[in-house]
Amino acid sequence: MKFRIFVGLVFVLGTVRVWAAEACHVWEKQELVFTAQHPQANAYISEDVWIDLTGPGFAKRVYGFWDGGETFRIRFAPTQPGHWHWVAGSSSNDPGLQGQGELEAIALPEEAKIANPNRRGMIRPTSNAHALEYADGTPFFAVGDTWFALGTNRMPWYDDDQARPIGPDAGFKDYVRLRQSQGYNWVGMIATFVNWNTDGQPYHFFMNDAEHTPFRFAWLEFGTGSAKNMDNEGGKPFLFPGKISGYENLFPDVDRINPEYFKAIDRKIDYLNAHGFVPFIEVARRDVSLPWKRHLGWPDSYARLVQYIWTRYQANIAVFAPVHLDILQETVPPADYDAVVDLIKKRYGLPPFGTLLSSNANPSTLVNWGEPSWVTLHQMGNKREHENYWYLTDIYYHEPHRPALNGEPYYSGYKDKRGLGGSGYKYGAEGGTETDARYCRSAMYGSFLSGGLAGHVYGAEGIWGSDREASAPTKMWDAFGWSSGAQMHLLRDFAFSLGKTYQQLEPMPDLISPSRDRRVKGYSGWSYCARTPDKDNFLLYFEGDAVAGQLRGAKLNARYRAQWFNPRDGKWIDVSGGYLTSNEVGVIQLPPFPDARVLNYVPLSWIPERYHDMLARHEFSFTSDADWGMRLVFDRQTEKSAY
């Protein structure tokens, strides 16, 4: 996304520097650059800079960050059209970090917002707090991918815009272009991997201290036995040597940040925003926390890193998290991350432009942090099989309401033999197969209809770890070609088939009978349903091997326009006759799937069509090896309701 840098456009009135007035667009990122006249030895830990920013409906202190040498930057975005004014200050009262300025913000034309929806502003909860929208009220439905190593050299940056084939030479921009063409608008990343390096030490090991502290539980650099190297063109996020005795070359000095590392990330975040993507930026992975807490300053020094990243990207359209909490082992407890956020709130306040706060949390942010908490976008994650979609239903009905999504579902082709005791994941399928894609669709549609109305995040073996090594079992560029990823946007089509009304859906799986078979660990045999409170709209999803029995909870004696949805290609198929009618108690007998077979008998296609209605009346159950969606919309033109 285009942004403006203000530097040098100054004149002096007495001792006050005044920036000349400029014009910009609403939600256009602005950057003020200051040069300290009396630089400090380590400004990262000793200097705060800020502006007091006022504008239409806005009056907040907005903090900046040290960017190396004598340079400080403050980034902000006007949230409404009109006149904006700012006054700069610093904790040391350095004259080079003072000044004032003003600008006029003007609204963008609609065609510019259509070209890049991020120009509609920061994403926020809808009025009912169950779904997401842009600042202008346009629905936002996350169609996401898992690029944890986005900020590193594993997704290389090329200055040119040359398109390279998806393969070993592909760069970050090529992957963005691919996913943009497939309808994606969200990527998840971990900003720092502080204690990871291919350093000759095991990817998973413990310290030789009194507590036998877990030092790291990294992802394997295939072929080495050590951790993945996660640096970028600017180096690593902190400088070495570190301060932990005996580990000075393995764990950096967290009081000496390396701005060059983050400058390499800046251009990727801006590129994502310019192409309509919302980055979900998690500060660090949980395995950094125990050595940090036991041997360095907690929560102070960790909160400093969180605040640094949040201020650096506060003017980007993004979502923030203080930690990637994918499991609850080998980490500080969730309450210790509360202490981090509480400290930031006390010293600086929360992100000033409404950036949502979340975490990829196992089993969910609600379980980990409860309510009230700092979380404004709930997630479940790293609990993969269909029994776990319930965590989204738990979030949906909990008060106060918060939007939610599944941030780490079943990964396409998931194996992870490195991290599962060497046995690998037992309930998945080979990546790139139809069975594997069907398991991904179970997570997509099952999570959405279980209450994940904010969207869904895809993941795939090879992509989540950005596996590029010659000995990696799945290369990231191969996984980018799997059909499961190309089908993600169809979930948004399914939701948006109701227009904004999808935001009113309530998860009610037991309206389908039967809704589950005995397979708890898996992705087959279960069904899902969500209905609007007025009973006008139903969305249903049936995993492969699920049963099309009956639907309860409809209006009485009412007719519904009914269509099947094919989640493989996004096509809608009318049920026979185009309508389904409920009986006197609101029960609808569901028709056979388009490719149905009579349960425990023969494929329906083998039975003459003239007998199909008779089979339905006698309550035969139908199933299918494939998965299907369904939409039912109350037909007001031919209302037969009893009320």
Encode pLDDT of 376-410 as tens digits: 999 999 999 999 999 999 999 999 999 999 999 99
Beta bridge partners, 513, equal 550
pLDDT at residue 519 tops 50: yes
In a 3-state reduction of DSSP, which class is residue 246? coil
Task: With residue 342 as reference, give the H or E element that holds it.
Answer: helix 334-347
CA distance 341 to 350: 8
For Cα atoms 278, 279, 282, give the angle at the middle one, nearest 5 degrees.
Answer: 145
**What is residue 22's predicted lDDT score, i.e. its pLDDT?**
80
Question: In this predicted model, which residue has the larger pLDDT, 87 or 638?
Answer: 87
**Residue 299: closest CA among 332, 331, 339:** 339
CA-based radius of gyration for the chain: 26
Query: Would you place residue 146 in the very low, low, confident or very high pLDDT band (cuts 50, 70, 90)?
Result: very high
Sign for the CA dihedral angle at 233, 238, 241, 246 comes to: negative
pLDDT at residue 212 tops 90: yes
**What is residue 6's predicted lDDT score, i.e. its pLDDT?**
55
CA distance 93 to 15: 12
**What is residue 623's predicted lDDT score, i.e. its pLDDT?**
81
What whole-number percentage of the chain has pLDDT above 70?
Answer: 91
pLDDT at residue 604 tops 90: no
- Lowest-confidence pick of 254-258, 263-267, 416-420: 416-420
For residues 533-552, average pLDDT: 96
Structure tokens at 631: 């939409």
Q: Report how far Cα 476 is from the mean position of its chain's Cα atoms.
A: 19
For residues 247-269, average pLDDT: 98
Q: Taking a C-beta distance cutoff of 8 angstroms, is the pair 386, 435 a contact?
A: no
**What is residue 510's predicted lDDT score, i.e. its pLDDT?**
95
Q: For the chain, list the domains and their CATH numbers.
A: 3-107 (2.60.40.10), 124-502 (3.20.20.80), 508-638 (2.60.40)
pLDDT at residue 119 tops 90: yes
- Lowest-confidence pick of 1-10, 58-67, 343-352, 356-365: 1-10
CA distance 365 to 344: 19
pLDDT at residue 12 tops 90: no
**What is residue 607's predicted lDDT score, i.e. its pLDDT?**
55
Mean residue pLDDT across the chain: 93
Give the total residue count for the chain: 643
Cis peptide leading into residue 592 (ω within 30°): no
CA distance 521 to 455: 23
Query: Would you place residue 596 in the very low, low, confident or very high pLDDT band (cuts 50, 70, 90)?
Result: low
Please write the tens of the pLDDT for every residue from 13-31. 344 567 766 899 999 999 9
**Residue 389: closest CA among 483, 505, 523, 546:** 523
**What is residue 10's predicted lDDT score, i.e. its pLDDT?**
41
Number of C-alpha atoms within 13 angstroms, CB side, residue 595? 12
Residue given tokens 């509609």 in the structure block: 120
Give the contacts of 493 (CB within 8 A, at least 6 positions apart): 570
For residues 357-368, average pLDDT: 98
In a 3-state reduction of DSSP, which class is residue 427? coil
For residues 31-53, average pLDDT: 97
Give the contacts of 179 (CB within 8 A, at least 6 positions apart): 145, 187, 277, 485
Residue given tokens 């069904």 in the structure block: 527
DSSP secondary structure string, 229-280? P--BTTB-SEESS-SSTT-TTTS-EEEEE-HHHHHHHHHHHHHHHHTT-EEE
**What is residue 18's predicted lDDT score, i.e. its pLDDT?**
72
- Lowest-confidence pick of 146-155, 615-624, 633-642: 615-624
Please write the tens of the pLDDT for every residue from 470-513. 999 999 999 999 999 999 999 999 999 999 999 999 999 999 99
Query: Would you place residue 608 in the very low, low, confident or very high pLDDT band (cuts 50, 70, 90)?
Result: low
Specify the amino acid at residue 152.
T
Query: Would you place residue 598 in the very low, low, confident or very high pLDDT band (cuts 50, 70, 90)?
Result: very low
**Residue 108: closest CA among 98, 117, 99, 97:** 117
**What is residue 614's predicted lDDT score, i.e. its pLDDT?**
52
Give the contacts of 210 (CB within 8 A, at least 6 positions apart): none
Tell me the residue ranges of DSSP E strands in 395-526. 404-408, 455-457, 506-507, 512-513
Q: Taking a C-beta distance cutoff of 8 angstroms, is the pair 219, 311 a contact?
A: no
- What is this structure's pTM? 0.94
**Residue 288: closest CA among 351, 381, 346, 217:** 217
**What is residue 619's predicted lDDT score, i.e. its pLDDT?**
46
Tell me how far CA of residue 88 lies from CA of 18, 57, 85, 259, 448, in angstroms.
10, 20, 10, 22, 45
